[in-house]
Chains A and B, each alone.
Chain A
Amino acid sequence: MDRRAFIRRSLQVAALTAVGGLPCLDLQALPAVAADPPLALRKGTDIPRLVRETVAALGGMRRFVKPGETVVVKPNIGWDRTVELAANTHPEVVREVVLLCLEAGAGRVRVFDRTCNDPRRCYRQSGIEDILREIPDKRLRVEHMDRRAYHELVIAGGVKLNRWSFYRPALEADRFINLPIAKHHSISGLTLGMKNVMGVIGGNRGVLHRGIDQALVDINQVVHTDLTIIDATRILIANGPQGGRLEDVEVRNTLIASPDIVAADAMGTTLFGLQPTDLPSVVAGARRGLGVMDLDRVKMV
């Protein structure tokens, strides 16, 4: 039983018994990750091609998405900022990943993020809503978060969190594809894959900034990412995570992808001239068995 099945089962049990208790998830009971995860790093200016090459290096989208499955694609749409300001995932990256999922036969592809600015403005300004609306496929849904779909979970074995609300569609999907943009972040150092998962949790996220590294591991152990693709076509090197100045943006034309979120984040640190050990969330994630941070143990594909 994987994490997702585990959560779904617990939610179902809770719904069936309909008692006041909360579904409980025991992080210590979760299986450890496989060693030597594959990781792809590609460069190129033609974004659709770049996405396809990167995913192909990992064995193609069909390795991650099986026909009929419900897939959540979770870009960063956090801010009311235009594409060139590098605060949100590049819309073309999102579109290409969505197309790959659809081509792999996904039954449904859902795209959403819990934004920081007004959600409607962020969806528009990021360019993501508009570019996805052009895809004429009924299986694709670009949707705002439904305030009713957050579900509180008890997290046994959580280091920082023992209870938090999560967005159910993200938990219940068959596949979760994480599409962060690589950015500087004043509190967590950098925001990469693990931090991007904060976009599918409820509650007052501001309080997580006290001890954010362990909190991120807790969250990521609840929401399992099947594939992380870090958008580094352009990155924000300062004033993150929101940015707002072109001076803080650097064009890198790079994508990093791995089924191992810690490995992807570990590689992501090198974009900023750092070591994986410099990012506390990566260290905490590796220590708690979320993934592999030692880039020597990562299989470059």
Chain B
Amino acid sequence: MTGLRRLRIVCQLGCLLGFFWLFVATEYRGLDELPYPVSLLFRIDPLAALADFFAPGAFAWQLLWPALLVIVATVLLGRFFCGWICPLGTTLDGAGRLLKSPGGRSRPGLRKIKYLLLLALSAAALFGVQVFGWFDPLSLFLRTLTFSLYPVYNLFANRVFDFFYDHHLPLISDLVNGAYPFWRDHLMAFQQPVFALGLFTALVFLAVLLLEKFERRFWCRNLCPLGALLGLCSRHALVRREPASLCSDCSRCQSACRMAATGSDGHARSECVLCFECTEYCPAERVRFGFHGREGSGQVDLRRREVVTALAVGALVGPTASIAPAAASADSYLLRPPGAVAEDEFLRRCIRCGECLKVCIGRALQPAWLDAGPLGLWTPRLVARFGYCEYNCTLCGQVCPTGAIRPLTLEQKHKTVIGLAVLDKDRCLPYARNEECLVCEEHCPTGRKAIVFEQKQVLVQSRIKILKIPRVVGKLCIGCGICETRCPVEGRSAIRVTNENESRRKRDGLA
């Protein structure tokens, strides 16, 4: 059985590396269609499927069928996903090693939390509030990579390259400078990523890692709702452990199991992640896994009262949160990526994985804090002063794993309205200071330009001057925001995109 353990470790590392590879490949590198976006990972994420199930509209079978396969496999085999595939699980195994976390079952009562969390989240989703993504381990891992780790990696890598570029050391500098273009084009972001919630996201991740100090795989044992979902599915899995309870002469399993799946009450298949470590540390080499043997008895005992409480909490929080005024109606500058569905459905679909932000070629997307409403944390918003939506790019819709951002063809994209640019005449140079400037008009990408100019005679220091004055044509503007990004006025732009006219909003049809 040591072979299985080794295979498991190879599989874990392979999945993690594969995940990183997909992550780095989720960037525009010359192809309009991404061949290997990291969203492939979410297609096997049952929690993403659950979120999609609760969202309005039809279930995205063609996108999420692999997740259902994972469920079926879990019903048959057990929680292998957590032990063999999950990138967060692998990272936690590594962190546990570094932090020398204690094994065994120190706080058995905590294991319930994940089930109760899953129930509460599901009840909330049923009542219209979907925040699975906050707790989904894949989302957690991916958005930490996107918002924090990858930008920091880029920062360091750039610092190193810059050092050898600025300080010419013979031989070394030539080597490093020679490697730079390849590195930049294949292993780094083309431009340094900049995200508002980098620190906060990193701290959340760090907290999850530090929980290892208390117990091995604290997150997976006690908190992870995906683990809970897979645990529920694997209660009667066919793969069984023998012996199904502690042996009378040895209680090694009780203290050594990373998931504390085996205790005095027996072996719990809903907790076991099939790491096969026990086949190795058992001093008598008694432990076997197979399709025979007794059912273990050590399942997590959920009391009816707790279940009802969790469901009630979720069912109450949902409606309570949804009676808050919609953020978009008060904040004209809350813009969503092109192809995003209507705000209500958008929040119910988005699993806060941060993929659209990772792939955004114009660096236009930023994670929302509380500015998109309390439930909008980590959802993408388009901040056009930092970056704009590239006219011929359709990447965000391609990578969205749950259809919160619909994939658009180029033709559809060109007609999808993100918002409407509005000039601030108190700051716009031709209006406010009679100075020449048409940068917004120059960059406006629509075929028939949505920013036009009119010539006007103005009096500058008692001389008549012909000035070109920009004007936005509301019917043509798609709100890509390049005008706002490029406006040469310092600080806040003199032309800003508001969410007026956005295609995704449901409105009455006025002829």
Residues of A within 8 A of B (CB): 80, 116-121, 124-125, 143-144, 146, 148, 185-187, 204, 206-207, 209-212, 239, 241-242, 244-245
Interface contact B181-A80, CB-CB below 8 Å: no
The yes or no answer to B392 lying at the interface (CB within 8 A) is: yes
A257 to B: closest C-beta gap in Å: 27
Contact with A along B388-399 (1 / 0, CB 8 A): 001111000000
Closest B residue, CB atoms, query A241: B442
Specify which of B180, B437, B441, B447 is in contact with A245 (CB 8 Å cutoff): B447
Interface residues on B, range: 35 or more
* A118 contact set on B, CB distance < 8 A: 28, 361-362, 390, 393
Interface contact B446-A244, CB-CB below 8 Å: yes
Interface contact B436-A187, CB-CB below 8 Å: yes
- Are A206 and B487 CB-contacts (below 8 A) given A120-B190, A187-B468, A245-B448? yes
A253 to B: closest C-beta gap in Å: 24
Interface contact B436-A206, CB-CB below 8 Å: no
A120 to B435, CA, bound (A): 33
A80 to B30, CA, bound (A): 12
Residues of B within 8 A of A (CB): 28-30, 162, 165-166, 180-181, 184, 190, 361-362, 390-393, 429, 435-439, 441-449, 453, 468, 486-488
* CB-CB nearest 6 A-B residue pairs: A206-B488, A244-B447, A206-B439, A207-B488, A245-B447, A187-B438
Interface contact A209-B445, CB-CB below 8 Å: no
A24 to B: closest C-beta gap in Å: 21
Specify which of A125, A143, A242 is in contact with B392 (CB 8 Å cutoff): A125
- Are A242 and B436 CB-contacts (below 8 A) given A186-B453, A210-B429? no
Interface contact A186-B438, CB-CB below 8 Å: yes
Interface contact A242-B468, CB-CB below 8 Å: no
* A116 contact set on B, CB distance < 8 A: 442-443, 486
**29 A–B contacts, CB within 8 A, in A order:** A80-B392, A80-B445, A116-B442, A116-B486, A117-B390, A117-B445, A118-B362, A118-B393, A120-B29, A121-B28, A125-B392, A143-B181, A144-B184, A146-B180, A148-B162, A186-B468, A206-B437, A206-B439, A206-B486, A207-B488, A209-B438, A209-B439, A209-B488, A210-B436, A211-B436, A239-B449, A241-B442, A242-B442, A242-B443
A187 to B430, CA, bound (A): 12
* A119 contact set on B, CB distance < 8 A: 190
A117 to B391, CA, bound (A): 9
Q: Chain A binding site: helix, strand, loop or mixed by DSSP? A: loop
* A239 contact set on B, CB distance < 8 A: 449
Interface contact A80-B390, CB-CB below 8 Å: yes
B486 to A: closest C-beta gap in Å: 6
Interface contact A244-B392, CB-CB below 8 Å: no
Closest B residue, CB atoms, query A244: B447
B467 to A: closest C-beta gap in Å: 11
* A212 contact set on B, CB distance < 8 A: 436
A291 to B435, CA, bound (A): 28
B2 to A: closest C-beta gap in Å: 48
A80 to B32, CA, bound (A): 12
A186 to B436, CA, bound (A): 11
- Are A244 and B362 CB-contacts (below 8 A) given A120-B29, A206-B487, A210-B435? no
Closest B residue, CB atoms, query A15: B168
A140 to B90, CA, bound (A): 45
Specify which of B180, B442, B448 is in contact with A187 (CB 8 Å cutoff): B442
* B445 contact set on A, CB distance < 8 A: 80, 117, 242, 244
* A242 contact set on B, CB distance < 8 A: 442-445
Interface contact B442-A186, CB-CB below 8 Å: yes
* B442 contact set on A, CB distance < 8 A: 116, 185-187, 209, 241-242
* A210 contact set on B, CB distance < 8 A: 429, 435-437
